[in-house]
Amino acid sequence: MRLEWIEDILAVMDTGSLARAADRRFVTQSAFTRRIRMIEDSIGAELFDRSRKPIVILPSVRVLEPELREAATRLANLRRELSNTSASAGSAVAFACQHAITATVSPRVVAALTAQDDVSVRVRSGNRDECLMMLLSGEVDFALMYESADMPSAAIPRAFESVTLDSERLVPVSIPALRQTTDGPAIPIVSYPADVFLGRVFSQTLAPRLPAGLAMESKAETALTLAAYRYALSGIGVAWLPQSLVQEALDKGELCLLDDILPAALLDLVAIWLPDQRGPHMQRIRQDVLSRLYPDAGS
Protein backbone atom coordinates (compact mmCIF):
# COMPACT_ATOMS: atom_id res chain seq x y z
CA MET A 1 0.00 0.00 0.00
CA ARG A 2 1.25 3.45 -0.90
CA LEU A 3 1.13 6.15 1.75
CA GLU A 4 -1.07 8.29 -0.49
CA TRP A 5 -3.62 5.47 -0.78
CA ILE A 6 -3.84 5.09 2.98
CA GLU A 7 -4.22 8.86 3.39
CA ASP A 8 -7.03 8.88 0.80
CA ILE A 9 -8.92 6.13 2.66
CA LEU A 10 -8.43 7.88 6.00
CA ALA A 11 -9.68 11.14 4.52
CA VAL A 12 -12.98 9.44 3.64
CA MET A 13 -13.18 7.92 7.13
CA ASP A 14 -12.54 11.30 8.75
CA THR A 15 -14.89 13.39 6.61
CA GLY A 16 -17.68 10.90 5.89
CA SER A 17 -17.96 11.61 2.17
CA LEU A 18 -15.98 11.52 -1.05
CA ALA A 19 -16.72 15.20 -1.71
CA ARG A 20 -15.34 16.41 1.61
CA ALA A 21 -12.41 13.99 1.38
CA ALA A 22 -11.57 15.39 -2.07
CA ASP A 23 -11.52 18.91 -0.61
CA ARG A 24 -9.17 17.76 2.14
CA ARG A 25 -6.89 16.14 -0.42
CA PHE A 26 -6.98 19.24 -2.67
CA VAL A 27 -8.37 17.45 -5.73
CA THR A 28 -11.66 17.57 -7.59
CA GLN A 29 -14.32 15.06 -6.57
CA SER A 30 -14.23 13.31 -9.95
CA ALA A 31 -10.44 12.94 -9.79
CA PHE A 32 -10.66 11.63 -6.22
CA THR A 33 -13.37 9.13 -7.19
CA ARG A 34 -11.18 7.82 -10.01
CA ARG A 35 -8.29 7.48 -7.60
CA ILE A 36 -10.39 5.50 -5.12
CA ARG A 37 -11.42 3.18 -7.97
CA MET A 38 -7.76 2.77 -8.89
CA ILE A 39 -6.88 1.88 -5.29
CA GLU A 40 -9.63 -0.77 -5.21
CA ASP A 41 -8.49 -2.19 -8.56
CA SER A 42 -4.87 -2.29 -7.40
CA ILE A 43 -5.54 -4.14 -4.14
CA GLY A 44 -8.28 -6.31 -5.65
CA ALA A 45 -10.95 -5.51 -3.09
CA GLU A 46 -13.85 -3.10 -2.66
CA LEU A 47 -13.53 -0.54 0.12
CA PHE A 48 -16.95 1.11 -0.02
CA ASP A 49 -20.62 0.18 0.12
CA ARG A 50 -21.88 1.83 -3.07
CA SER A 51 -25.48 0.73 -2.47
CA ARG A 52 -25.78 3.61 0.00
CA LYS A 53 -25.84 7.31 -0.79
CA PRO A 54 -23.46 8.75 0.06
CA ILE A 55 -21.22 5.72 -0.14
CA VAL A 56 -19.67 4.55 3.13
CA ILE A 57 -16.60 2.59 4.15
CA LEU A 58 -17.34 -1.12 4.43
CA PRO A 59 -17.39 -2.39 8.04
CA SER A 60 -14.58 -4.84 7.24
CA VAL A 61 -12.41 -1.89 6.23
CA ARG A 62 -13.50 0.33 9.12
CA VAL A 63 -12.17 -2.18 11.68
CA LEU A 64 -8.72 -1.76 10.11
CA GLU A 65 -8.67 1.97 10.89
CA PRO A 66 -6.14 1.71 13.76
CA GLU A 67 -3.75 -0.29 11.57
CA LEU A 68 -4.18 2.15 8.69
CA ARG A 69 -3.41 5.14 10.92
CA GLU A 70 -0.38 3.41 12.39
CA ALA A 71 0.86 2.48 8.91
CA ALA A 72 0.36 6.06 7.65
CA THR A 73 2.38 7.47 10.55
CA ARG A 74 5.13 4.88 10.17
CA LEU A 75 5.44 5.37 6.39
CA ALA A 76 5.43 9.17 6.72
CA ASN A 77 8.16 9.03 9.35
CA LEU A 78 10.20 6.59 7.24
CA ARG A 79 9.90 8.83 4.20
CA ARG A 80 10.99 11.84 6.25
CA GLU A 81 13.98 10.00 7.71
CA LEU A 82 15.10 8.76 4.30
CA SER A 83 14.73 12.26 2.89
CA ASN A 84 16.81 13.73 5.71
CA THR A 85 19.46 11.03 5.26
CA SER A 86 19.67 11.84 1.56
CA ALA A 87 19.94 15.54 2.30
CA SER A 88 22.80 15.00 4.76
CA ALA A 89 24.80 12.98 2.21
CA GLY A 90 24.23 15.51 -0.55
CA SER A 91 21.26 17.48 -1.79
CA ALA A 92 18.65 15.50 -3.69
CA VAL A 93 16.10 17.95 -5.05
CA ALA A 94 12.74 16.70 -6.30
CA PHE A 95 10.18 18.83 -8.07
CA ALA A 96 6.97 18.20 -9.96
CA CYS A 97 5.66 19.82 -13.13
CA GLN A 98 2.51 19.79 -15.13
CA HIS A 99 3.19 17.79 -18.30
CA ALA A 100 3.74 20.73 -20.68
CA ILE A 101 6.05 22.44 -18.18
CA THR A 102 8.15 19.27 -17.98
CA ALA A 103 8.91 19.65 -21.68
CA THR A 104 9.43 23.42 -21.79
CA VAL A 105 10.55 24.87 -18.45
CA SER A 106 12.02 21.99 -16.47
CA PRO A 107 15.24 21.62 -18.54
CA ARG A 108 16.35 25.11 -17.46
CA VAL A 109 15.51 24.40 -13.82
CA VAL A 110 17.35 21.06 -13.90
CA ALA A 111 20.41 22.70 -15.51
CA ALA A 112 20.46 25.40 -12.84
CA LEU A 113 20.05 22.91 -10.00
CA THR A 114 22.70 20.48 -11.23
CA ALA A 115 25.17 23.32 -11.76
CA GLN A 116 25.49 23.37 -7.98
CA ASP A 117 27.90 20.94 -6.33
CA ASP A 118 26.49 17.70 -4.88
CA VAL A 119 22.97 18.31 -6.15
CA SER A 120 20.99 15.60 -7.91
CA VAL A 121 17.52 16.13 -9.30
CA ARG A 122 14.35 14.07 -9.64
CA VAL A 123 11.62 15.43 -11.88
CA ARG A 124 8.06 14.14 -11.59
CA SER A 125 5.34 14.92 -14.11
CA GLY A 126 1.59 14.91 -13.57
CA ASN A 127 -1.58 16.90 -13.89
CA ARG A 128 -2.23 19.82 -11.55
CA ASP A 129 -3.99 17.75 -8.88
CA GLU A 130 -1.25 15.13 -8.94
CA CYS A 131 1.43 17.81 -8.47
CA LEU A 132 -0.39 19.12 -5.40
CA MET A 133 -0.63 15.60 -3.99
CA MET A 134 3.10 15.02 -4.51
CA LEU A 135 3.77 18.16 -2.50
CA LEU A 136 1.41 17.15 0.30
CA SER A 137 2.91 13.68 0.54
CA GLY A 138 6.47 15.00 0.66
CA GLU A 139 7.49 13.33 -2.62
CA VAL A 140 8.71 16.64 -4.04
CA ASP A 141 10.19 19.83 -2.63
CA PHE A 142 8.33 22.22 -4.92
CA ALA A 143 6.13 22.19 -7.99
CA LEU A 144 5.85 24.23 -11.16
CA MET A 145 2.35 24.63 -12.54
CA TYR A 146 -0.03 26.93 -14.34
CA GLU A 147 -2.60 29.15 -12.70
CA SER A 148 -5.30 31.32 -14.25
CA ALA A 149 -6.26 34.67 -12.76
CA ASP A 150 -9.64 34.29 -14.49
CA MET A 151 -10.44 31.16 -12.48
CA PRO A 152 -10.58 31.99 -8.75
CA SER A 153 -12.03 28.55 -8.06
CA ALA A 154 -8.75 27.00 -9.22
CA ALA A 155 -6.58 29.14 -6.95
CA ILE A 156 -3.73 27.45 -5.12
CA PRO A 157 -4.87 26.32 -1.64
CA ARG A 158 -3.79 28.55 1.24
CA ALA A 159 -1.73 25.73 2.76
CA PHE A 160 0.91 26.39 0.11
CA GLU A 161 3.26 29.27 -0.51
CA SER A 162 3.75 30.38 -4.10
CA VAL A 163 5.46 32.88 -6.36
CA THR A 164 4.55 33.84 -9.92
CA LEU A 165 7.56 33.26 -12.17
CA ASP A 166 6.36 34.12 -15.66
CA SER A 167 3.33 34.26 -17.94
CA GLU A 168 2.33 31.95 -20.78
CA ARG A 169 -0.28 32.11 -23.53
CA LEU A 170 -2.58 29.16 -24.14
CA VAL A 171 -3.12 29.46 -27.89
CA PRO A 172 -5.25 27.71 -30.54
CA VAL A 173 -3.10 25.99 -33.17
CA SER A 174 -3.63 23.62 -36.06
CA ILE A 175 -1.90 22.45 -39.21
CA PRO A 176 -2.27 25.10 -41.95
CA ALA A 177 -4.68 22.92 -43.95
CA LEU A 178 -7.22 23.03 -41.09
CA ARG A 179 -7.33 26.81 -40.86
CA GLN A 180 -10.15 26.98 -43.39
CA THR A 181 -12.36 24.80 -41.17
CA THR A 182 -12.82 27.77 -38.85
CA ASP A 183 -15.11 29.26 -41.51
CA GLY A 184 -17.58 26.39 -41.19
CA PRO A 185 -20.36 25.76 -38.70
CA ALA A 186 -18.18 23.34 -36.70
CA ILE A 187 -14.45 22.92 -36.25
CA PRO A 188 -12.62 19.73 -35.25
CA ILE A 189 -10.78 20.13 -31.96
CA VAL A 190 -8.58 18.21 -29.56
CA SER A 191 -10.26 18.66 -26.19
CA TYR A 192 -9.27 18.24 -22.56
CA PRO A 193 -11.39 16.37 -19.98
CA ALA A 194 -13.67 18.75 -18.09
CA ASP A 195 -12.19 17.82 -14.71
CA VAL A 196 -8.53 18.67 -15.48
CA PHE A 197 -7.05 22.15 -15.20
CA LEU A 198 -6.85 22.98 -18.92
CA GLY A 199 -10.31 21.52 -19.42
CA ARG A 200 -11.62 23.98 -16.84
CA VAL A 201 -9.66 26.82 -18.47
CA PHE A 202 -11.32 25.99 -21.78
CA SER A 203 -14.87 25.74 -20.42
CA GLN A 204 -14.66 28.77 -18.13
CA THR A 205 -12.48 31.24 -20.01
CA LEU A 206 -12.28 30.20 -23.67
CA ALA A 207 -15.64 28.66 -24.58
CA PRO A 208 -17.63 31.80 -23.60
CA ARG A 209 -15.49 33.82 -26.06
CA LEU A 210 -15.85 31.53 -29.07
CA PRO A 211 -17.37 33.17 -32.18
CA ALA A 212 -21.16 33.13 -32.11
CA GLY A 213 -22.66 30.19 -33.96
CA LEU A 214 -19.40 28.25 -34.15
CA ALA A 215 -19.65 24.69 -32.82
CA MET A 216 -16.80 22.54 -31.52
CA GLU A 217 -16.56 18.92 -32.68
CA SER A 218 -14.20 17.01 -30.38
CA LYS A 219 -12.23 14.49 -32.43
CA ALA A 220 -9.99 13.38 -29.57
CA GLU A 221 -9.81 14.01 -25.84
CA THR A 222 -6.69 13.79 -23.71
CA ALA A 223 -5.47 15.17 -20.39
CA LEU A 224 -1.87 15.23 -21.69
CA THR A 225 -0.75 18.44 -23.38
CA LEU A 226 2.11 16.57 -25.06
CA ALA A 227 -0.39 14.16 -26.60
CA ALA A 228 -2.62 17.06 -27.69
CA TYR A 229 0.45 18.60 -29.35
CA ARG A 230 1.07 15.42 -31.35
CA TYR A 231 -2.60 15.20 -32.31
CA ALA A 232 -2.51 18.77 -33.59
CA LEU A 233 0.60 18.00 -35.64
CA SER A 234 -1.21 14.97 -37.08
CA GLY A 235 -4.03 17.19 -38.32
CA ILE A 236 -6.68 15.71 -36.03
CA GLY A 237 -8.01 19.08 -34.95
CA VAL A 238 -7.38 22.47 -33.39
CA ALA A 239 -5.68 22.26 -30.01
CA TRP A 240 -5.18 24.88 -27.31
CA LEU A 241 -1.58 24.57 -26.14
CA PRO A 242 1.05 26.61 -24.26
CA GLN A 243 2.78 28.74 -26.88
CA SER A 244 6.26 27.85 -25.61
CA LEU A 245 5.47 24.19 -26.28
CA VAL A 246 4.50 24.77 -29.92
CA GLN A 247 6.79 27.69 -30.83
CA GLU A 248 9.25 25.50 -32.74
CA ALA A 249 6.45 23.97 -34.81
CA LEU A 250 5.07 27.45 -35.47
CA ASP A 251 8.48 28.70 -36.61
CA LYS A 252 8.82 25.74 -38.99
CA GLY A 253 5.31 26.26 -40.40
CA GLU A 254 4.14 22.84 -39.21
CA LEU A 255 1.44 24.55 -37.14
CA CYS A 256 -0.23 27.91 -37.46
CA LEU A 257 -1.67 30.25 -34.85
CA LEU A 258 -5.42 30.75 -34.91
CA ASP A 259 -5.58 33.41 -32.20
CA ASP A 260 -6.86 35.94 -34.74
CA ILE A 261 -10.00 33.79 -35.08
CA LEU A 262 -10.29 31.82 -31.85
CA PRO A 263 -9.72 33.01 -28.27
CA ALA A 264 -6.47 32.51 -26.36
CA ALA A 265 -5.92 32.59 -22.58
CA LEU A 266 -3.18 33.97 -20.38
CA LEU A 267 -1.71 31.61 -17.78
CA ASP A 268 0.70 32.30 -14.95
CA LEU A 269 3.65 29.99 -14.36
CA VAL A 270 3.95 29.59 -10.60
CA ALA A 271 6.25 27.77 -8.22
CA ILE A 272 4.56 26.40 -5.10
CA TRP A 273 5.77 24.63 -1.98
CA LEU A 274 4.80 23.80 1.58
CA PRO A 275 6.28 26.12 4.21
CA ASP A 276 9.30 24.69 6.04
CA GLN A 277 9.40 21.58 3.86
CA ARG A 278 12.85 19.94 3.99
CA GLY A 279 14.22 22.77 6.13
CA PRO A 280 16.15 25.98 5.41
CA HIS A 281 18.84 24.30 3.29
CA MET A 282 16.33 23.15 0.67
CA GLN A 283 14.58 26.52 0.82
CA ARG A 284 17.85 28.28 -0.02
CA ILE A 285 18.49 25.96 -2.98
CA ARG A 286 15.00 26.52 -4.35
CA GLN A 287 15.04 30.28 -3.85
CA ASP A 288 18.54 30.65 -5.32
CA VAL A 289 17.71 28.72 -8.47
CA LEU A 290 14.33 30.32 -9.10
CA SER A 291 15.60 33.84 -8.43
CA ARG A 292 18.46 33.34 -10.91
CA LEU A 293 16.17 31.94 -13.60
CA TYR A 294 13.36 34.44 -12.95
CA PRO A 295 14.92 37.57 -11.39
CA ASP A 296 11.65 39.51 -11.71
CA ALA A 297 9.52 36.83 -10.05
CA GLY A 298 7.10 38.17 -7.48
CA SER A 299 7.80 41.79 -8.43
> Mind listing the pLDDT tens digit for each residue in 89-98?
456 788 999 9
Q: Between the ranges 101-105, 212-216, 292-296, where is the mean pLDDT highest?
A: 101-105
What is 3-71's CATH number, 1.10.10.10, 3.90.1170.50, 3.30.413.10, 3.40.50.360?
1.10.10.10
Q: Does domain 168-267 have CATH number 3.90.1150.10?
A: no
Cβ atoms 238, 172 nearer than 8 A: yes
Cα separation, 25 vs 28, whole angstroms: 9
Size of the chain in residues? 299
Least confident residue range of 182-191, 274-283, 290-299: 274-283
Cα separation, 287 vs 113, whole angstroms: 11
pLDDT of residue 40: 85
Calculate what percentage of the chain has a pLDDT beyond 70. 89
pLDDT of residue 69: 87
Query: What are the residue ranges of CATH 1.10.10.10 in the chain?
Result: 3-71
> For the residues 180-185, what does the mean pLDDT come to?
72
The model carries a pTM of: 0.69
> For the residues 189-200, what does the mean pLDDT come to?
90
> For the residues 227-253, what does the mean pLDDT come to?
95
